[in-house]
Chains A and B, each alone.
Chain A
Amino acid sequence: MKTIKTIKTMKTIKKMKTIKLLAILFISALTFTACSEDDHDDHDDHDHENEVITTVNYTLTDGSDEVTLTFIDLDGEGGEEGEITISGPLSANTTYTGTIELLNATEDPAEDITEEIMEEDDEHEFFYTSTVAGLAITKTDVDGNDNPLGIETSVTTGEAGSGSISIVLKHEPTKPNNGSAEDAGGSTDIEVTFNVTVQ
């Protein structure tokens, strides 16, 4: 009889064990789920594209006169198309000093991306091309390895005419290169085109 009793108790223990085990597993599963909640963010402030470049300002000065070429796309990729503004025509047979400025205007105050490019100047290069007859753009600055960079430029105009100026910024291009964006490769960070007139 004793054996029957023992068997019974053993069975109960076994059952208890199983139930307990299941309970432990279940709880641990829940804890696990709960634990990983810590990577859960509760604040739902939606991300701003803080690497986005919203603004390109290309400023040309000849000491007295200043012409700015601006491309602004405040909502970034997609959404509204970018807006191009050209403050006025360039003068014929003039040499301008050109400076480029890139901004992220989604931040307040606007973040200056040009500074970041200067910090990693060996990984970046600007490329300028123009279809205006007689207009030449040369890069006047260099990176840490004495290769062209293109934040600072010199622009010389010829006779009156019209056409376009394109600005391309390459990230991780081959440096040095033959001066063309094609040869430099890398990935494009900026590619904008302005229609200009020289008079």
Chain B
Amino acid sequence: MQKIFFLCIAIFYSHIHIAAQNCNLNFKGKIADFHDNTSIIGASIRIINLNKYTSTDLEGFFEFNDLCKGKIVLEIQHIACETKIITINLKNNLFKEILLEHHLEELNEVVVKTNTKTATTSIEQTIKEDVIEKYTDQSLGDALKTISGVSSLSTGSTIVKPMIHGLHSSRLLIINNNVRMFDQEWGDEHAPNFDLNSSNRIDVIKGANTLKYGNDAIGGLILIRGKKYASKDSIFGKSSVSFNSNGLGGNVNTEIVKTYTSGYFGKFQTSYKQFGDFKTPNYFLTNTGMQNLNASFRFGYNSFEKGFEAYYSFVNNNFGILQLSHIGNVNDLVQAINRSEPRNIKNFSYKIENPKQTILHHLGKIEAYKRFKGLGKLTVQYDFQINRRKEFDLGRGNRENTPVIDLRLFTTSLQPNLHIDFLPNFKFDVGFLGRFQQNNAVAGTRSRPLIPDYEKIDAAIYTTGNYNIDETTEINAGIRYDFTSINANKTYLLANWKKYNFDQLFPEFEGEVDNTRIDTHPKFRFHSVSASFSFSKQWENDLTFLIHYGLGNRVPNPSEFFSDGVHHSNARFEIGFLNIKREIANKFNISLERNNENFGFSISPYYKRINGFIQLIPTGITTTIKGAFPVWEYDQVDAEIFGIDIDINKKINNQFDYLGNISLIQGDNLTEDIPLIHMPGTNFSNRIVYTNEKWNQLTISLQNRTVLRQNQYPDYNFFTFNPSTQQDVFVDISTPPPAYSLFDFGASTIFKTFNKGNLKLEFNIENILNVNYRENLNRFRFYADELGRNFNIKIKIDY
């Protein structure tokens, strides 16, 4: 009743005023920062429809006089703030406080600045969109190899796992659009299920406060991000197509983005990749083709105060596995090692036959945020992932279509995070994580599942803080507590259960015994506390000094706990142990960086001490009906890994640039006083780039990459008996292959085709000299050479 009364009065009042067209209204206001309410001095205010200007005084006040009644559109601008446009219906003299936002980089389309790091105190390197586009038809692991300190552990040429400072799999966190990827990353031959084309930027974080994402980033963290789009009415996109002479295949990718002034945006991207058999300089690698279909979809609303985003991505990978690598026992392996060239070389084919892997990965998330005046930003994220992995092996008869491994991993999590930023020099984050994971060893395979059914619950709470001591000095610290619970159901061979002494150690896990098998129900609980501390100091001449310390914890992954059987693609018997404890790592990183176009560098030494480092090493052989199999067991040692990454860029003259990097690394098994297994060798690269802006932005580059032989390796060689020849045979599985050096050539040019559109042409040659070589960290180095020369053409259109 009261409301209606006031409404009536208001209507009456406004009518009177319309009659007396009043043009002496006064509009005063104050501009302040959203976060801490401090006045903003020197902001420009313009009434767009009247073309009147003013700016704020020393207290942040402004004033317009002699305004007429009616609608006015205000545009408020200030350096380092987002431009704000507001509409006011002016009826009386008015005083209004307007809040501006200081975090431009969070809302704009990639801001080009010298410092584009995720955090000032972070030791990291970034690959940007142009590099991502260059690797459009390759994998994440291939693209990241361009960064110093990053190498890869591969299985053939298509299954490539990134490795930071010699660490990979469960020790690397891959964060895809703020979702931590869970795609059975524990296996050596399980590559990340991620399409490079769906991202705009990838950061490799070697040393920084990553506690927000997890406590187990012992190797580092790979942060994959999409773009933030400006709130304007626009539609744009890009399409690209590529073709390679090696593998006679390529990639087609297209993406389209629609943005609205209101802040809504949407993006759709899809890509398809296909390759046939790859070729070494001398022969085809039978059954190494691949097929890959991806799609991703983003949709959201961005404004300064609130917003949301939904993201979904789908990856379907189909990898052929080198047929030669399918071996039956140790003697087959010895034969493969001793042959200089593989046998049964077939002609080129696009067919993907057994052995092969087919993987389906769904990832979806919904994220929403709201800013609270004088407090900060609250973000809540819900995500889910489904990973279905099937591995097929060579078999007899109709078993070809039955997978030997069929696992379905479901992960879902909820993550609220509060970013508090109202204090001028002190910002901090508080957050919580709840995660549920379920693995299902799908029935119907031909073998005992290597990874059993299990359920895992993670809960974590963390807080991280950032303090600016002065304009150039910053410290960052954080602490995180994690709780993990694992409940598994696994059937062991009774003989193994006793042999591993589990009947003594874990009688509480035992269930029913069925003939030669025993059902067990292992349960584990872990509590861990992790911490991080970083410091950064900047000097005038673009020089930055950074130091980082991190205490990390890693709970053993399911393969480290539960493996117990033949991993067919490796012809090895892998054994995990239930009594494996968590890994505790102390990491130290230092970095001295000069961010300068003419002469820049980064020198980053590091030292990691890992207690209870879990490694998979050969320990002997076991005799089966197929003959002898090498046994690989997970064991725990104390380890240290240290090294240095150096990057240099130098402008030679206006047209020539030099880029170089070198990575030195050493890993020691301190318990046994021997080197660690599978450490990358010293590697360096040198690149000369010629650019000419006038000739359609022509860029020509020549690169050399050299990987030296790894001389620090543990000797796990052994002897086995060959009954056919009645002789003991030496099995050399440790000696690394010799050093190699490769030359690559690249050229690209951009044409303006139509109004807003660009056409980019790219031509590359990889391994120009067609060098025969084998890489120590390729699991197929025993069977075949690496790839020979490849010509590559790419066409990309921006519109």
Name A residues whose Cβ lies closer than 8 Å to a Cβ of B: 1, 3, 18, 22, 25-26, 29, 32-33, 36, 39-41, 43-47, 49-54, 56, 71, 73-82, 113, 116-117, 119-120, 123, 127, 129, 131, 164, 166, 168, 170-172, 174, 180-182, 185-193
Q: Name B625's contact: one of A56, A129, A186 (CB within 8 Å).
A: A56
Q: A41-B443, A47-B444, A51-B446 are in contact. List 19 more A-B contacts (CB 8 A).
A: A26-B366, A33-B384, A33-B410, A36-B386, A39-B442, A51-B395, A75-B493, A75-B495, A76-B448, A79-B493, A116-B396, A129-B724, A172-B394, A182-B725, A191-B328, A191-B626, A191-B723, A192-B625, A192-B627
Among residues of B, the one whose C-beta sits closest to the C-beta of A192 is: B625
The reply on B489 being an interface residue by CB < 8 A is yes
Q: In the complex, are the beta carbons of A44 and B443 less than 8 A apart?
A: yes
Among residues of B, the one whose C-beta sits closest to the C-beta of A81 is: B623
The reply on B364 being an interface residue by CB < 8 A is yes
Question: Known interface pairs A51-B446, A168-B723. Does A185 touch B494 (Cβ–Cβ under 8 Å)?
Answer: no
Q: Name A78's contact: one of B388, B491, B566, B726 (CB within 8 Å).
A: B566
The reply on B516 being an interface residue by CB < 8 A is yes
A164–B449 Cα distance when bound, in Å, is: 36
Question: Known interface pairs A41-B440, A43-B443, A79-B493. Does A185 touch B723 (Cβ–Cβ under 8 Å)?
Answer: no
Segment 549-604 of B: residues with Cβ below 8 Å from A: 564-566, 573
The reply on B308 being an interface residue by CB < 8 A is yes
The reply on B83 being an interface residue by CB < 8 A is no
Among residues of B, the one whose C-beta sits closest to the C-beta of A5 is: B7
Q: Name B326's contact: one of A36, A78, A168, A187 (CB within 8 Å).
A: A187
Closest beta carbon of chain A to B652's beta carbon, Å: 52
Closest beta carbon of chain A to B309's beta carbon, Å: 10
Q: In the complex, are the beta carbons of A188 and B627 less than 8 A apart?
A: yes
Q: Name A22's contact: one of B326, B335, B366, B396 (CB within 8 Å).
A: B366
Q: In the complex, are the beta carbons of B331 and A188 less than 8 A apart?
A: yes
Q: In the complex, are the beta carbons of A119 and B384 less than 8 A apart?
A: no
Q: In the complex, are the beta carbons of A40 and B723 less than 8 A apart?
A: no
Q: In the complex, are the beta carbons of B386 and A33 less than 8 A apart?
A: yes
The reply on B447 being an interface residue by CB < 8 A is yes
A117–B395 Cα distance when bound, in Å, is: 11
The reply on B755 being an interface residue by CB < 8 A is no
The reply on B344 being an interface residue by CB < 8 A is yes
Interface residues on B, range: 35 or more
Q: Name A166's contact: one of B11, B449, B622, B724 (CB within 8 Å).
A: B724
Top-10 shortest CB links A-B: A191-B627, A188-B328, A79-B493, A166-B723, A187-B328, A79-B495, A75-B516, A80-B495, A193-B723, A77-B624
The reply on B310 being an interface residue by CB < 8 A is yes
A127–B447 Cα distance when bound, in Å, is: 27
Among residues of A, the one whose C-beta sits closest to the C-beta of B365 is: A29
Q: In the complex, are the beta carbons of B368 and A22 less than 8 A apart?
A: yes
Closest beta carbon of chain B to A151's beta carbon, Å: 14
* Chain B residues, CB < 8 A from A164: 723, 726
Residue of B301, B384, B447, B723 with highest tally of chain A CB at under 10 A: B723
Residue of B368, B444, B626 with highest tally of chain A CB at under 10 A: B626
Q: In the complex, are the beta carbons of A78 and B493 less than 8 A apart?
A: yes
* Chain B residues, CB < 8 A from A123: 396
Q: Name B344's contact: one of A44, A56, A82, A185 (CB within 8 Å).
A: A185
Number of A-B contacts (CB under 8 A): 178
The reply on B134 being an interface residue by CB < 8 A is no
The reply on B34 being an interface residue by CB < 8 A is no
A50–B7 Cα distance when bound, in Å, is: 82
Q: In the complex, are the beta carbons of B327 and A116 less than 8 A apart?
A: no
Q: Name A47's contact: one of B328, B368, B447, B495 (CB within 8 Å).
A: B447
* Chain A residues, CB < 8 A from B386: 33, 36
The reply on B362 being an interface residue by CB < 8 A is yes
Among residues of A, the one whose C-beta sits closest to the C-beta of B574 is: A78
The reply on B245 being an interface residue by CB < 8 A is no
* Chain A residues, CB < 8 A from B7: 1
Q: In the complex, are the beta carbons of B489 and A36 less than 8 A apart?
A: no
Q: In the complex, are the beta carbons of B343 and A78 less than 8 A apart?
A: no
Name B residues whose Cβ lies closer than 8 Å to a Cβ of A: 7, 10-11, 14, 89, 299, 301, 308, 310, 312, 326-329, 331-332, 335, 343-344, 362, 364, 366, 368, 382, 384, 386, 388, 394-397, 399, 408, 410, 412, 440, 442-449, 453, 489, 491, 493-496, 516-517, 564-566, 573, 622-629, 723-726
Question: Known interface pairs A33-B412, A174-B343. Does A189 touch B494 (Cβ–Cβ under 8 Å)?
Answer: no
* Chain B residues, CB < 8 A from A50: 399, 446
Closest beta carbon of chain B to A75's beta carbon, Å: 4
Residue of A82, A113, A192 with highest tally of chain B CB at under 10 A: A192
Question: Known interface pairs A22-B368, A46-B491, A187-B394. Does A40 touch B445 (Cβ–Cβ under 8 Å)?
Answer: no
* Chain B residues, CB < 8 A from A113: 396
Closest beta carbon of chain B to A153's beta carbon, Å: 16
Q: In the complex, are the beta carbons of B448 and A49 less than 8 A apart?
A: yes
Q: In the complex, are the beta carbons of A120 and B625 less than 8 A apart?
A: no
Closest beta carbon of chain B to A102's beta carbon, Å: 9
* Chain A residues, CB < 8 A from B494: 75, 79
Closest beta carbon of chain A to B569's beta carbon, Å: 11
Q: In the complex, are the beta carbons of A190 and B626 less than 8 A apart?
A: yes
Closest beta carbon of chain A to B326's beta carbon, Å: 5
Question: Known interface pairs A33-B384, A73-B624. Does A51 touch B396 (Cβ–Cβ under 8 Å)?
Answer: yes
Q: In the complex, are the beta carbons of A41 and B627 less than 8 A apart?
A: no
Q: In the complex, are the beta carbons of B331 and A78 less than 8 A apart?
A: no
A186–B10 Cα distance when bound, in Å, is: 93
* Chain B residues, CB < 8 A from A127: 724
A24–B283 Cα distance when bound, in Å, is: 53
A172–B343 Cα distance when bound, in Å, is: 11
A83–B671 Cα distance when bound, in Å, is: 38
* Chain A residues, CB < 8 A from B14: 1
> 19 A-B Cβ contacts within 8 A?
A25-B299, A33-B410, A44-B443, A44-B489, A46-B491, A46-B517, A47-B448, A49-B448, A71-B625, A76-B493, A78-B622, A81-B623, A116-B396, A117-B396, A120-B397, A131-B726, A164-B726, A168-B723, A190-B626
A84–B623 Cα distance when bound, in Å, is: 12
Closest beta carbon of chain B to A181's beta carbon, Å: 5
* Chain B residues, CB < 8 A from A36: 362, 386
Q: In the complex, are the beta carbons of A1 and B412 less than 8 A apart?
A: no
* Chain A residues, CB < 8 A from B362: 32, 36
A77–B567 Cα distance when bound, in Å, is: 11
* Chain B residues, CB < 8 A from A3: 89
Q: In the complex, are the beta carbons of B331 and A191 less than 8 A apart?
A: yes
* Chain A residues, CB < 8 A from B397: 116, 119-120
Question: Known interface pairs A74-B516, A77-B626. Does A180 touch B364 (Cβ–Cβ under 8 Å)?
Answer: no
Closest beta carbon of chain B to A175's beta carbon, Å: 11
Q: In the complex, are the beta carbons of A54 and B447 less than 8 A apart?
A: no
A131–B372 Cα distance when bound, in Å, is: 86
A129–B308 Cα distance when bound, in Å, is: 72
Q: In the complex, are the beta carbons of B329 and A188 less than 8 A apart?
A: yes
Closest beta carbon of chain A to B680's beta carbon, Å: 30
Question: Known interface pairs A1-B10, A171-B394. Does A80 touch B625 (Cβ–Cβ under 8 Å)?
Answer: no
Among residues of A, the one whose C-beta sits closest to the C-beta of B10 is: A1
Residue of A3, A18, A29, A193 with highest tally of chain B CB at under 10 A: A29
Q: In the complex, are the beta carbons of A25 and B724 less than 8 A apart?
A: no
Among residues of B, the one whose C-beta sits closest to the C-beta of A82 is: B625
